[in-house]
Structure formats: C-alpha cells, structure tokens
Structure 1
Amino acid sequence: MAEKTSKEQALELAQLLEDGKADDVTVIEVTKLTSCADFFVIATIHSSAHWQGLAKQIKDYVKANDMQIHLTHTKTAGGDDWNVIDIGSVLVHLMSADARNFYELEKLWHAGNFIKGSQSENA
C-alpha cells in the first residue's frame, strides 16, 4: 500500500473532524510559507468534551495509518480554547469559536493555498 501524501492526510483529517461535528473545517497548504508543516487543518470545537472526543479520533487515525503525533499543545488553563496536534507535515488546530475569532489563523496565513474552507473558492 502506498504511503499517503500530506494533502491526503490533511483532507482525511478534515473529513474526520467534520464527521465529528466540528464546525468551519479549513485546510490550508502552507508548504511555501513555513517549514513547520505542509498543511494546517483548522476546526471549531464546542467544548472540552468535544475536543477530547476529536483528539481520540485523531489519535486512532494516526495509529491506523502508522503515523505518530509529535506534540500536542493546549493554550489556556481550561484546555478547550486552542489545541494543536502536530502530526509532522500536518498541524491540526482545534479551537473554540472565541479563540478562532481572536487569532484569525486564516487571515494570518492568507497567503497559503486554501484547499478546503471558506476561502478556498478565492484561492
């Protein structure tokens, strides 16, 4: 079986998040903008329990695809505002609506190639 590309992984993770009821799932190719990842997957979550459920699904996906999580990071004491899961070439950002509106990652990375999400029609 051929190894999946970073883009295939990002799109599959985006679908997993949508299936898990995350909102406004966006995939941005950032290959030409940073060396930290090839793709960002950004999604809005609704609660700490929602984040925990999605994080478990992501971990299951990673394990099933013989990948590994390099790092997870939470920004806020409650753990439900902004969670980053580093899967190497894909960074998954799970954010509360408030954090997403405040940090505006899509605007920050506007020069990226929007593969999926609200700006993908304009890319």
Structure 2
Amino acid sequence: MAEKTACEEALEIAGLLEDGKAENVRVLDVSELNSWTDYFVIATIHSSAHWQGLAKQVKDYTKENGMEIHTVHQKSSNGDDWNLIDIGPVVVHLMSESARAFYELEKLWHAGTVLK
C-alpha cells in the first residue's frame, strides 16, 4: 500500500476532528510560506475534556499511521484555550472560540491555500 501524503494525512485528521464534534475545521496548505510544516489543521474545541478526547484521537491516528508527534503545547494552564500538536508536516491547532477569534490564524496565514 502506498504511503499517504501529508495532505491526505491532514485531511484525514480534519475528518477525525469533525467526527469528534470539533467545529469550524479548516485545513490550510502553508508549505510555500515556511520551512517547518506543510499543513495546518485548525479546529474549535469547547472544553479541556473535549481537547483531551480529540488529542487522543489524533495520537491514536498518528500511531496507527506510523507518524511521530514531535511536541504538544498548551497555551493555557487548564488546556482549554489553544493546544498545538506538531506532527512534522502537519500541525494541529485545537482552539477555544475566543482564542480562535483573537489569534485569527486563517487571517494571519491568508496566503496559504484553504483545502477544507
């Protein structure tokens, strides 16, 4: 079986997040804009419990697909504001509504191509 591309992985992770009730899920191709990742998957979460459930799904997906999580960052002490999962070519941003509105990643990275 052929190895998945980073684009396919990003879109599959987006689907997992949607299945897990994340809202406003977007996939941005930022490969031409930086040297450290190719795709952002951005989704809105509603609580630290929601984040934990979605993070587990992402971690399970990476394990099943032979991917490595490089790092996980939290922007708030209780884990419900902005959580980042760096998988190398794909970076997953799980954000509260308020953090998403404040940081406006889609606007900041507007030169990227919206795939979803």
- TM band (smaller chain): over 0.9
Structure 1 CA distance for aligned equivalents of residues 44 and 61 of structure 2: 19
**Identical-residue share of aligned pairs (%):** 69
Secondary structure of 1:55's counterpart equals helix
TM-score by length of 1: 0.93
Confirm whether residue 30 of structure 1 aligns to residue 53 of structure 2.
no
Q: Which amino acid aligns with 1:65?
A: N
CA displacement 1:9-60 (0-9 Å, x = unmatched): 0000000000000000000000000111100000000000000000000010
Partner amino acid, structure 2, of 1:82: W
Pairwise CA distance, 1:106:
0.4
Compute the TM-score of the two structures, normalised by the length of structure 2: 0.99
Cα deviation for residue 103 of structure 1 reads: 0.2
Tell me the equivalent position of 1:16: 16
Q: State how far apart, in whole Å, the 2-side matches of 1:35 and 1:13 are.
A: 21
Secondary structure (helix, strand or coil) at the match of 2:115 reads strand
Runs of 4+ that moved beyond 6 A: none
- For 2:50 and 2:77, locate their aligned partners in 1 and report how far apart those are by CA, in whole Å: 16
- How many residues are paired up? 116
Q: Which runs of 5+ in 1 are unaligned?
A: 117-123
The 5 Å alignment of 1:1-123 reads 1-116=1-116
Give the CA deviation at 1:78.
1.4
Q: Measure, in 1, the Cα distance between the counterparts of 2:77 and 2:87.
A: 23
